[in-house]
Amino acid sequence: MAAMAALRALRWRLLRTPGSGPARRLSTAEFPSPEEKPQFPGASADFADRLEFIQPNVISGIPVYRVMDRQGHIVSPAEDPQLPKELVLKLYKTMTLLNTMDRILYESQRQGRISFYMTNYGEEGTHVGSAAALDDTDLVFGQYREAGVLMYRGYPLDLFMAQCYGNTSDPGKGRQMPVHYGCRERHFVTISSPLATQIPQAVGAAYAIKRADANRAVICYFGEGAASEGDAHAGFNFAATLECPIIFFCRNNGYAISTPTSEQYRGDGIAARGPGYGLMSIRVDGNDVFAVYNATKEARRRAVAENQPFLIEAMTYRIGHHSTSDDSSAYRSVDEVNYWDKQDHPISRLRHYMLSRGWWDEEEEKGWRKSSRKMVMEAFEQAERKPKPNPQLLFSDVYREMPPHLRRQRAALERHLQHYGEHYPLEHFEK
């Protein structure tokens, strides 16, 4: 009652004209009653006089944007990005070169030559379609299955191999697990193993770019499994409230290791979460390289021009095992995998498009497959011959000046190797 009395007194003061005597009357349209419109600061909504809970599936699912069908035919000519032949060939050759590298390094791990590997089978279109739509200076935060982005930017095969082998040519000096690539010159932040940590980090980088008015964007890749991490919530919310020029790129490949999407969430995928955070969102066919290109291109343009975040959910399928530590036959059928490998693969879809335009033929296909395998094998053999980095490098590059506790650890290692060095394969390490 006291609150209502105070409100009436406030209205009386507002309605009075100084020195004019009685207050003038205002219509309801001029001064709407607070009872007719919610005044809560946390939401923008109207009152409802009927008890009703919002159903999770009250509307049909967010549609999947596509440009090409499974046979490589353009569905709507207005959506055709009209990419020149040279660029389309680069997209195709990057995808197929990545596929070839995957096969050789996967077999290398199975033979005990490297410790670990993760293939990109089936998701190549999400890599190159998005990479082609970015500026070269845009900052990339990857999860661990985005090698195609780095390859599209010109990262050489010998450095891919050096990183997986952890040899003396590895920029990371053998300290990281295989497939944890990074390249400062190509604006690709080094991958780290903990899931989803890159999401809030990417938002921080985007906020710094915004404050510097640098005319750049950040793209942050992650899987639909990582979207269940708390870091995803924090990143989405910070990006929206701070209005950061960032593209959240979710590769929804159907599985978080062995957990299918049906057991990961009950809502309409990841794109449906975007509006709740205030993110501009879209769902695209991740096996359609042109759809991925169009969506990323427009998101990048608007993110930079308007300083706002975007969420792209690329629907695709992980054809390979999660990693060499996984056996996916334990949780999915061979028929399921074969469907995506044979009927809806991003590489075959783009090849159909190129064949229909007369930009590619079977002879060129055979020649490229042979030459690309030769390039990969040469880099592979070169990496295998190189020694491992000097063990002393375990202690460097953490501090500008090595602190006492690290100096003590280094001295302890030296003493240990002097006494027991014959038990270690030191001949394989750089002196």
Q: Do the beta carbons of residue 141 and residue 149 sit within 8 Å?
A: no
Confirm whether 345 is a catalytic residue: no
Say yes or no to pLDDT of 285 above 90.
Answer: yes
The answer to whether 344 and 315 are in contact (CB under 8 A) is no
- Which of the residues 127, 180, 322, 345 is marked catalytic? 322
* Percentage of residues in the chain having pLDDT higher than 90: 86
Q: Specify the pLDDT at position 35.
A: 63
Q: Would you state the pLDDT for residue 55?
A: 82
Name the residue among 189, 175, 298 with its Cα closest to residue 247. 298
Asked if residues 238 and 230 have their Cβ atoms less than 8 Å apart, the reply is no
Which entry of 108, 130, 281, 323 is annotated as an active-site residue?
323
Average pLDDT, integer, range 162-175: 97
Question: Does the pTM of the predicted model rise above 0.85?
Answer: yes
Q: CA 250, 254, 259: angle at the middle one, nearest 5?
A: 110
pLDDT of 33 reads 61
Active site residue 381: no
Q: Residue 39: its pLDDT value, please? A: 84
Is residue 298 classed exposed, middle or buried when 0-12, 13-18 and 19+ CB atoms within 10 A define those classes?
A: middle
Beta-bridge partners for 284: 65, 314
pLDDT attached to residue 270: 97
> Across the chain, what does the average pLDDT equal?
92
Question: Between the CA of residue 112 and those of 67, 134, 182, 381, what are the distances in Å?
Answer: 42, 37, 24, 15
CB count in 10 Å sphere of residue 10: 10
99-152 tens-digit pLDDT: 999 999 999 999 999 999 999 999 999 999 999 999 999 999 999 999 999 999
Beta strands 259-260 and 255-256: pairing type?
antiparallel
From 73, 115, 193, 384, the catalytic residue: 193
Q: Which residues touch 221 (CB under 8 Å, ≥6 apart)?
A: 140, 141, 142, 143, 145, 146, 149, 198, 249, 250, 251
For residue 185, indicate whether it is catalytic: no
H or E element: which one contains 371? helix 362-385
What integer pLDDT is reported at residue 40 of this predicted model?
86
Phi, psi of 421, rounded to the nearest 5 degrees: -60, -30
Q: Residues 66, 71, 72, 75: is their CA dihedral positive or negative?
A: negative
- Cβ neighbour number for residue 338 with a 10 Å cutoff: 11
For residues 159 and 165, give the distance between their C-alpha atoms in angstroms, rounded to a whole number: 10
Distances (CA, A) of 250 to 103, 239, 256, 313: 24, 15, 12, 5
The pLDDT assigned to 45 comes to: 86
What pLDDT score was predicted for residue 155? 98
The lowest-confidence range among 40-44, 127-131, 318-322 is 40-44
Q: Which long-range contacts (CB under 8 A, 24 or more apart) does 3-8 make?
A: 7/34
Separation between Cα atoms, residue 237 and residue 200, nearest integer Å: 10
Asked if pLDDT for residue 153 goes beyond 50, the answer is yes
Distance CA 253, CA 118 (A): 14
CA distance 82 to 294: 11
**Cα–Cα dist 292/265, whole Å:** 24
Which residue(s) pair with 219 in the sheet? 140, 247
Is there a contact between 126 and 249 (Cβ–Cβ < 8 Å)?
A: yes
Percent of the chain at pLDDT above 70?
92
Q: How far apart are CA 314 and CA 395, in angstroms?
A: 41
Determine which helix (DSSP H) or strand (DSSP E) holds 283, and give its type and residue range: strand 280-285
Residue 115 is a catalytic residue: no
pLDDT tier at 402, thresholds 50, 70, 90: very high
155 close to 164: Cβ distance less than 8 angstroms: no
Residue whose token pair is 């880099």:
379
Q: Outline where 166-287 has alpha helix (H).
A: 198-212, 230-242, 261-264, 274-277
At 155 the three-state DSSP class reads coil
**Residues 6 or more apart whose Cβ sits within 8 Å of residue 318:** 121, 122, 123, 253, 254, 255
Render pLDDT for 321-366 as a digit per residue (tens, 0 to 9): 999 999 999 999 999 999 999 999 999 999 999 999 999 999 999 9
| pLDDT at res. 43 | 78
Within 58-143, strands assigned E span 139-141
Task: Flag whether pLDDT at 173 surpasses 80.
Answer: yes
